[in-house]
């Protein structure tokens, strides 16, 4: 079974400052990794995903994440945040085997961008 | 433009009174999922359909049932809601397994 740990439940950051949201996972098998964003009163939207290939993944809205297999991490970064980035961010993992795409989510990190 | 629609957005029910949540999709995706998200917790998969094939997660309580009468619609039935079933319920779809999941806005269920 897989599990995901998001170490920070809340991250406040000033506008135009850089941000890193941390995600660590544990799994006995190979995994796919995802970051989703949830704006207030909206559903989850995929920011980016790692399936294979380059460990640096670029997503929408200027976000990127780096897969580090040795540290079992998939931290999300943005060099300069905007007010509109205020939202809840979820890291998720699924195994690479055949069968259902069962996503295991972390508990989320609430990013608050301060003007 | 809405792709995954959930109705209602907010649902209040009484302890023990059956309730049905609705999800519809305009994407013609094969797979539909239901997740439960309790306050400050991660979304947790309850079950999914691949076309008409139903798959229940091992730890999903019997109190939760689902129906998928056609490709577009999927329902979540809670037969006898308890206070512990208060949560956000998220519906998602994907074209096939391993494809990106598209989420609806969720239905927030309150049990009085």
Mean pLDDT for chain B?
Answer: 93
- Judged by DSSP in three states, B25 sits in strand
DSSP per residue over B77-112, as a string? EESS--GGG-EEEEEEEESSTTSPPEE---EEEEE-
Strands A10-14 and A109-114: parallel
What confidence tens digit (pLDDT) does each residue in B45-95 have? 999 999 999 999 888 999 999 999 999 999 999 999 999 999 999 999 999
What confidence tens digit (pLDDT) does each residue in A6-37 have? 999 999 999 999 999 999 999 888 888 999 99
Does A99 have pLDDT greater than 60? Answer: no
- Judged by DSSP in three states, B29 sits in coil
Residue A3 in contact with partner chain B when CB distance is under 8 A: no
Instruction: Say what the pLDDT of residue A42 is.
Output: 78
**Tokens, residue A82:** 């905007």
A31-69 burial: b if 16+ Cβ within 10 Å, else e: bbbbbbbbeeeebbebbbbbeeeeeebebeeebbbebee
- Judged by DSSP in three states, A60 sits in helix
Q: Smallest CA–CA separation between A17 and chain B, in Å? A: 26
Does A54 have pLDDT greater than 70? Answer: yes
**Tokens, residue B110:** 């309150």
Mean pLDDT within A73-83: 97
- Please state, in angstroms and rounded to a whole number, the distance separating the CA atoms of residues A43 and A96: 25
Instruction: Say what the pLDDT of residue A102 is.
Output: 77
- Please state, in angstroms and rounded to a whole number, the distance separating the CA atoms of residues A6 and B68: 34
Does the beta-carbon distance from B42 to A43 stay under 8 Å? no
- Could you tell me the pLDDT band of residue B40, with boundaries at 50, 70 and 90? confident
Does the beta-carbon distance from A100 to B97 stay under 8 Å? yes
Instruction: Say what the pLDDT of residue B73 is.
Output: 97
Does the beta-carbon distance from A46 to B100 stay under 8 Å? yes
Question: How many Cβ pairs within 8 Å bridge chains A and B?
Answer: 55
Instruction: Say what the pLDDT of residue A94 is.
Output: 86
Instruction: Say what the pLDDT of residue B2 is.
Output: 65
Mean pLDDT within B25-30: 94
């Amino acid at each position: 079974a897989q599990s995901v740990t998001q170490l920070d439940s809340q991250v406040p950051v000033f506008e135009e400052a850089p941000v890193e949201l941390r995600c660590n996972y544990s799994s006995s098998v190979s995994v796919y990794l995802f970051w989703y964003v949830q704006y207030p009163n909206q559903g989850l939207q995929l920011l980016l995903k790692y399936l294979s290939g380059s460990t640096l993944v670029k997503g929408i809205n200027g976000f990127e994440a780096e897969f580090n297999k040795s540290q079992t991490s998939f931290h999300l970064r943005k060099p300069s945040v905007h007010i509109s980035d205020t939202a809840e961010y979820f890291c998720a993992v699924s195994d690479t085997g055949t069968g259902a795409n069962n996503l295991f989510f972390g508990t989320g990190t609430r990013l608050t961008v301060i003007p | 433009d809405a792709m995954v629609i959930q109705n209602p957005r907010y649902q209040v029910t009484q302890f023990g009174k059956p309730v049905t949540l609705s999800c519809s999709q305009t994407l013609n995706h094969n797979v539909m999922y239901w997740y439960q998200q309790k306050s400050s917790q991660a979304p947790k998969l309850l079950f999914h359909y691949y076309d008409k094939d139903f798959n229940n997660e091992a730890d999903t309580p019997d109190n939760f049932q689902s129906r998928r009468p056609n490709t577009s619609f999927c329902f979540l039935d809670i037969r006898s809601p308890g206070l512990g079933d208060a949560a956000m319920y998220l519906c998602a779809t994907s074209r096939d397994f391993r494809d990106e999941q598209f989420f609806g806005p969720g239905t927030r269920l309150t049990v009085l």
